[in-house]
Structure 1
Amino acid sequence: MHLKLPIHSSQRVIVGLSGGVDSAIAAHRLLEQGYAVEALFMKNWEEDDAEGYCAAAEDLADARAVAERLGIRLHTVNFSAEYWDRVFEYFLHEYRALRTPNPDVLCNKEIKFAAFLDHALGLGAETIATGHYARVVADERGYHLHRGIDEDKDQTYFLHLLDQEQLSRARFPLADLSKSEVRTLAHRLGLANADKKDSTGICFIGERRFSDFLARYLPREPGPIETPEGVPLGEHRGLAYYTIGQRQGLGIGGVSQGREAPWYVAVKDSVNNRLIVVQDSRHPLLMSSGLEALQPHWISGQTPKPPFRCLARLRHRQPLQPCTLIAVGADGCRVRFDEPQRAVTPGQSIVFYQGTECLGGAVIERAFTTPSGG
């Protein structure tokens, strides 16, 4: 039996107001539901304010305009130190190890649902809310994270590290809306940011030329780009700057080896500092029957017993893939897919589902191509 999350006219909730349209409509819907609503604008990056990449001042102005339009109080806070220590240091560590991290996942766990939550509780709030497209369901077994109704915008992949305490305090007012409905409602309310472009790029750091940004923190270590047979094709900037399956930005256009077809990153050979590329998007070097992952997190707090059938995705918006958890422990898990998966990328997250419920996830350590994982 599902229980509706409590809504009380006296319950005080603080919305993370980013300046975007999603969080604005989240605040509006909470007002409609009878909450006592306030808002909080978080600044989490200030390393290059002068360069204007993050457009924090513009976002803050948009957040203020929304708060004024809705008639709610706007608080501001600077979590730059927390973001650097809890998210960005890990981000750099993973790139140095030639893995490809997903900072949005850790950002939600450590900033939006930890630092922000703690700050909001200190301000007297009982719950917090964000503009994520996701849904929380409470029953006698606890709190469950489910996909939002808009499958294209579903953000549970980025929320899979949340725990029971965080979910008990979280509200996702956009759970039953599509993105088009959100924009339509924003127009109806006369919000100036109704057509504002969705933010992309690194969480809280914003849009920028990624290789140039990374070069500020990691040294460039050039080396050869080769085919699996050892045919030289060019020079890479440093293995850390590439990810498995990457097609763009390889700098080897016009080198066809007899076939006019795009090249894809297949292997980062750290021993010889070689970048191995292939021309077939489903080349055997890019396909995996399973994977090993570390740091498993289960939202319910209960570890499933293998063999455990479920669905999984290896990246945001990827269609859900049937799989079996063939080994699960406190430190890691092993997964076998029903169908081979392309570009399994160490450092990224694998996130598990049953139906619409997000069960949790883990950090991909390595791919394998045999059923036993050997």
Structure 2
Amino acid sequence: MSGGVDSSVAAHLLLEAGHEVIGVFMRHGHQSPVACTNDPESPDAPARGSLVDLPVVNRLDHKQGCCTAADAEDARRVADRLSIPFYALNLDREFKQIIDYFVDEYTAGRTPNPCVQCNNWIKFGKLFDYADSVGAQYVATGHYARLETAGGTPKLLRGIDSGKDQSYVLFGIKQKYLERMLLPVGGYQKPDIRRLAGEVGMNVAEKKDSQEICFVTRGRYDEFVRNERDQKTSIDTAGELVLTDGTVVGKHSGIEGFTVGQRKGLGVALGEPKFVVRIEPESRNVVLGDREEMGCRELTAKDCNWLVEHEEIPQRCEVQIRYNASSAPATVELLDEGRFSVEFDEPQFAIAPGQAAVCYHGEQTLGGGWIE
């Protein structure tokens, strides 16, 4: 339970279906500035793995995240209204793995997706360990995706609400966990979820959706990366802004401030729109060009995870290269060492190394990997 409307209604739907429900909130150590009520138990005091109650707080930075103490209080209020147990799990050490991944990828000129890794490592990783410790059969979340269990092996499908579908961020879950997952809101449209929340008197019925990376509590991503990195090592990632023909048009303070496809915030005015075409970590050059120069029909991906058996992966399928992108028809070929190649029917724009390439067959999520 993140404190948002989706996981709150998911808990309600599970109760309506006859399940015994335990609400769990994931805490980590990167909190936004907060104003707390007087509470004898500091939110940073408990040891790793402890179960605690959290103080009532109000955020001061105005960011909309999903793992703050204010969100924990929202989740606790919902749990109280539903009369279910509620625990906050201290996962600071586990989140540190995600933060290190985030920093390392940006430092290498890649574009990370920490929300996917959070699902892989924590929400459908560590939470199964906790579920086992309390004898729970399933782990449920408020993701907009569906599970089809008829006919044997469970299938992960897109959510009914195409504008909210989150199957993309679930591609890395281990196949063995599908049979122990529940995704109650995936068969609903988002307005219906808000309506249900209002009908049962949830205070989060009109709460805005989380839109920020939860551990970047203030400022820009590049500032966060530099601050985290400088605590461990000193690496100079500053370099030059160059056009695709090699013309130097400016300087930048670090490649972590850029991602492929970026148009705004380039730090240079050229009289016409330019985009980040690629990032060259060895030279530390950020290459700018026209939109047409971002088009690409091929990619390779590594560290694949498949939710179906290899023989079930069709050569022709649809591939999605970003969370907010549409999937596109392509030919897929499995390679050695957990890799695969993709050839799109039409050029795709802003294929960013570090993002996930996820394969679909109709509504079914087949799996995917990380763009090289």
Please give the TM-score of this superposition, normalised by the length of structure 2. 0.85
1:343 counterpart (332, 346, 350): 350
2:250 counterpart (231, 234, 242): 234
Q: Are positions 1:96 and 2:107 aligned together?
A: yes
- Per-residue CA deviations over 1:216-239 (Å, capped at 9, x if unaligned) read 123553222122233332221211
1:289 counterpart (280, 287, 297): 297
Q: Are positions 1:277 and 2:288 aligned together?
A: yes
Cα deviation, residue 207, structure 1: 6.3
Cα deviation, residue 250, structure 1: 0.9
Q: Percent identity?
A: 37
CA distance in 2, matches of 1:242, 1:135: 34
Q: Give, as a single letter, the amino acid of the residue that structure 2 aligns with 1:184.
A: R
Aligned with 1:19: secondary structure?
coil
1:126 counterpart (116, 120, 137): 137
- Per the alignment, residue 318 of structure 2 pairs with 311
Cα deviation, residue 172, structure 1: 0.4
Cα deviation, residue 267, structure 1: 2.1
Cα deviation, residue 140, structure 1: 3.8
Q: Are positions 1:246 and 2:269 aligned together?
A: no
Q: Point out the more displaced range, 186-195 or 87-96.
A: 87-96
CA distance in 1, matches of 2:116, 2:143: 13
CA distance in 2, matches of 1:49, 1:275: 31
Does the CA-based 8 Å contact 1:327-1:335 persist in structure 2? no
Aligned with 2:186: secondary structure?
coil
Q: 1:329 to 1:322 in 2, by over 3 A?
A: same
Cα deviation, residue 306, structure 1: 8.2
- Per-residue CA deviations over 1:195-254 (Å, capped at 9, x if unaligned) read 11111222555564222212212355322212223333222121122111111211213x
1:149 counterpart (160, 166, 171): 160
CA distance in 2, matches of 1:307, 1:191: 44
Does the CA-based 8 Å contact 1:201-1:207 persist in structure 2? no
Does the CA-based 8 Å contact 1:149-1:175 persist in structure 2? yes
Q: Are positions 1:299 and 2:317 aligned together?
A: no
- Per the alignment, residue 185 of structure 1 pairs with 196
Does the CA-based 8 Å contact 1:304-1:328 persist in structure 2? no
Q: Point out the more displaced range, 309-318 or 222-231.
A: 222-231
Cα deviation, residue 48, structure 1: 4.9
Equivalent runs, 1:197-212 vs 2, <5 Å:
197-203=208-214, 205=216, 208-212=219-223
Q: 1:192 to 1:56 in 2, by over 3 A?
A: same
CA distance in 1, matches of 2:259, 2:324: 18
Equivalent runs, 1:13-24 vs 2, <5 Å:
17-24=1-8
- Per the alignment, residue 29 of structure 2 pairs with 46
Instruction: Give 5+ residue unaligned stretches, structure 2.
Output: 35-58, 230-234
Q: Point out the more displaced range, 340-349 or 302-311.
A: 302-311
- Per-residue CA deviations over 1:28-64 (Å, capped at 9, x if unaligned) read 1111111111211110x21455576667221111011
Equivalent runs, 1:28-43 vs 2, <5 Å:
28-43=12-27
Cα deviation, residue 168, structure 1: 1.1
What's the RMSD between the two structures over aligned residues?
2.0
CA distance in 2, matches of 1:178, 1:139: 23
Q: Are positions 1:333 and 2:340 aligned together?
A: yes
- Per-residue CA deviations over 1:96-118 (Å, capped at 9, x if unaligned) read 22211111111101100111121
Q: Point out the more displaced range, 164-173 or 224-233.
A: 224-233
- Per the alignment, residue 217 of structure 1 pairs with 228
Q: Point out the more displaced range, 291-300 or 197-206.
A: 197-206
Aligned with 2:211: secondary structure?
coil
Does the CA-based 8 Å contact 1:288-1:341 persist in structure 2? yes
CA distance in 2, matches of 1:136, 1:329: 29
Aligned with 1:217: secondary structure?
helix
CA distance in 1, matches of 2:172, 2:298: 22
- Per-residue CA deviations over 1:271-302 (Å, capped at 9, x if unaligned) read 43221111x2222xx111111111111112x2
Does the CA-based 8 Å contact 1:145-1:358 persist in structure 2? yes
- Per the alignment, residue 360 of structure 1 pairs with 367
Cα deviation, residue 308, structure 1: 0.6
Q: Give, as a single letter, the amino acid of the residue that structure 1 aligns with 2:156.
A: L
